[in-house]
Each structure stands twice: as structure tokens, then as C-alpha cells.
Amino acid sequence: MEINQVYNRELKEYFVNTAIGVLMQNNLITNEELRGLSITMGYLFSTEERQIEGLFNISCAGKDFYFAAQKGKLMMVSINQEMFEQTIEHMKEYHPCILSEELPETPMQKKRREKNNKLVAKKKIAVAEKLMTYWNDDQVELKSVEAICKRAIACFLVIQIACDIANNNYEEGLNYFKPMIEQFGVMDQLNEKERRIIDGSYSMQDAIDMDWAYEAYWALCWCLGLVRDISDGSDVCDCQKAIGIVMSCKSVADLVKKSKLRKKEEILDMLDLYLRYNWAINDAKVNPQASIGKLNPSTVIERRRGLEWVVSDVEDWYEISMRA
């Protein structure tokens, strides 16, 4: 039996990541252009022989690239948008499974999807009705309170140095905050971008990214029960409160004592909401009629990054896919 796989996150990410790798290797897109990348999945299904067939479009910096999966192998195809749409319609006729709207979701996932779609619609933001919530509660394991506290402290302190870069005070900031990183014992918790800030090999884009990391840090603080609510993706964090959370502590243990990790269900609810915000932002890039309400795209992406990190086994959160 043929099965519609368009809702299979892992399968989609595999093919999309492979396609992006091909584009990068052939210098067809740059790292900077990746931020504006959007994906249109034409179809994705498994055949009776368990082979994967698919067709999708990658749009980036005004350029369109088309990829097809045949018998599980991916290739770039030379077609235009009209041919892309015609192929989809042709495949629907011969492979009815593509039209299936049945989502392989648990009752909890369905409840989460429907609840968050209502919240998104209420904010007058474009809704993806069939965007399946990615996370199965029974299969998710949250990172520990101590691990989240260490990540929060490490991120916060490097942010301060990054801010000093923007103010042309790098050396002063480094001399003040690097000893604090060592005092808290979180030097080994830094990701690659943060290490570049510390060792002076950073780019200006690294500094800009770290400035926005305040929002990822804010999401961690929410998970730790130190921030009341982050469901409004249109605002930015309260910087004074953000500073006080870490600066009032002398050790990781101090922050752990102040924290109370939210329930897994609550964290997954929030993460799914930010997935839907992220989808609307991406959709608006290619669909002028799509509304993102008052969402701040950078706030949404960075808070989602922090939430994703809490529920994943990835250590460097810049390695987590932010596609929706």
C-alpha cells in the first residue's frame, strides 16, 4: 500500500538537507542566503515496494531549484514552476495516497495541533491546518535542569561580550565576562559560535546572531519557570530581568535552586506554537497574502531554537534545523 509521507518530518529533513548540501557544494547558494530559504513540498510518498518518491522546490534569494526523489535517490531536475505544478497534478491522479489528509499523529499531538492552530488564527496569523506537531510526548526526553541552567548561563555571558563588540568595547567586555564564564564553570558548555566570540575569531554575523540569542536564552528561562510567559512572539525579552536572572547567582547551583522545570507537555505545547509561528513567517516570504500578524521573525526563530534545544539530543543549538 502506498503511504503519504508528506507529514514525515525526519524523511523531509533528510531530503531537504541533502538538497541544500548539493546546492552549497555547487556554489548555487551561499550561507547568507540560507536565512531566506523556503521549501514547497509537492508530494512525498512511499510505494508498495517501500521506495520513496517525491518532488519539492527550494526557493532562495529569488532563485528556484527543483528536486525529485525516485526510488529513494535524490536528483536535481530541470523544470519550471508550471511543470512542477503539472507534475504534482499528474501524480495525484495515479497515486491517490498523495491526497490523503490522515495524519499519523497521537491523540495528544492532534489536541496540541488543533489548540495551537486556534491560537494562531486568533492572532490573525496564517494557519497551516495540516502541519503536524512534530513531537511525540512519549518519545521526548527533556534536558536536565542543570544542563539547561549551564546553557543559559554560558549563552547569557557570551551575549554580553557580543553586545560589547557592537559598542566597540570587545576587549573590555572579554576581560570582564570571560572570568565569569570560568567562575561559573561553563567554558566547556560553549557552542562553536560562542567559542569564536571568546577566542576573537568571530565574524560580525556571529556577533549579531549572539545579540539575538537573548531570545533563545529567554526561552530557556521560561522552561526553567523563571519567566511567566513567552507565547507572544511579537515582543522581545525584558533585558533587565534577563540580566538579573544570571547576575543574581554566583554558581550554577544557585540558578538550579531558583528553577522549577516546566512539565514536558507545557514545553511541547509552546514549541509547537512557535513551529506554527515559524511556518507563517516562511510562508509570508513566498505568499504576499499570508499574514504574520505582529510577529517578530527573529524573536520567533531564536525562541524556537531554545525550545528545540531543550527537547533534543543536539548540543550545539545552531545545528538544529529551523525549517517549518
**Does 117 score more than 80 pLDDT?**
yes
- Together in a domain, 62 and 143: no
Q: How many domains does the chain have?
A: 2
Which of residues 46, 68, 99 is at a domain's end? 99
- Together in a domain, 10 and 158: no
Which of residues 68, 99, 130 is at a domain's end? 99
DSSP 262: P
Identify residue 34 by its one-letter amino acid code: L
Reported as a single tens digit per residue, the pLDDT across 132-164 is 887 888 889 999 999 999 999 999 999 999 999
- Together in a domain, 197 and 244: yes
Please compute the mean of the pLDDT values over residues 319-324 and round it to a whole number: 79
- Together in a domain, 39 and 65: yes
Please compute the mean of the pLDDT values over residues 63-84 and round it to a whole number: 92
Q: What is the pLDDT of residue 114?
A: 93
The model's confidence at residue 128, banded by pLDDT at 50, 70 and 90, is confident
Query: Which of 236 and 100 is assigned the larger pLDDT?
Result: 236
Reported as a single tens digit per residue, the pLDDT across 278-315 is 989 988 876 778 899 999 999 999 999 999 999 999 99
Q: How far apart are CA 153 and CA 166, in angstroms?
A: 21
Instruction: Copy the grid coordinates of residue 158.
Output: 557570551
The model's confidence at residue 129, banded by pLDDT at 50, 70 and 90, is confident
* Ordered DSSP codes for 5-53: -TT-HHHHHHHHHHHHHHHHHTTSS-TGGGGG-EEEEEEEEE-TTS-EE
- Together in a domain, 223 and 118: yes
- Segments forming the whole domain that contains residue 268: 105-324
Please compute the mean of the pLDDT values over residues 166-177 and round it to a whole number: 91
Query: Which of 320 and 198 is assigned the larger pLDDT?
Result: 198
Instruction: Copy the grid coordinates of residue 163.
Output: 553586545
- Together in a domain, 41 and 183: no
The model's confidence at residue 232, banded by pLDDT at 50, 70 and 90, is very high
- Together in a domain, 38 and 180: no
Please, what is the Cα angle at 124 between 120 and 126, to 5 degrees? 65
Instruction: Compute CA distances 39 → 15, 17, 117, whole Å.
Output: 11, 11, 21
Contact 169, 139 (CB under 8 A): no
Q: How far apart are CA 29 and CA 60, in angstroms?
A: 8
- 3-state SS assignment for residue 289: coil
Q: What is the pLDDT of residue 166?
A: 83
The model's confidence at residue 321, banded by pLDDT at 50, 70 and 90, is confident
- Average confidence score pLDDT of the chain: 91
Q: What is the pLDDT of residue 167?
A: 87
Q: What is the pLDDT of residue 48?
A: 84
- Together in a domain, 166 and 206: yes
Encode 75-91: b = buried (16+ Cβ within 10 Å), e = exposed. Answer: eeeebeeeebeebeeeb
Q: The whole model's pTM is what?
A: 0.76
Instruction: Compute CA distances 200 → 174, 191, 195, whole Å.
Output: 9, 14, 8
- Together in a domain, 93 and 114: no
Q: How far apart are CA 73 and CA 66, in angstroms?
A: 14
- Together in a domain, 61 and 194: no
Contact 206, 166 (CB under 8 A): no
Query: Which of 2 and 260 is assigned the larger pLDDT?
Result: 260
Provide the pairing of β-strand 38-46 with 3-4.
antiparallel
Which of residues 79, 99, 119 is at a domain's end? 99
- Together in a domain, 78 and 109: no
- Together in a domain, 43 and 178: no
Instruction: Compute CA distances 108 → 113, 115, 132, 135, 233, whole Å.
Output: 9, 11, 11, 10, 24
Contact 100, 130 (CB under 8 A): no
Q: Which helix H or strand E contains 59, and what residues bound it? A: strand 52-60
Q: How far apart are CA 60 and CA 178, in angstroms?
A: 38
% of the chain beyond a pLDDT of 90? 68
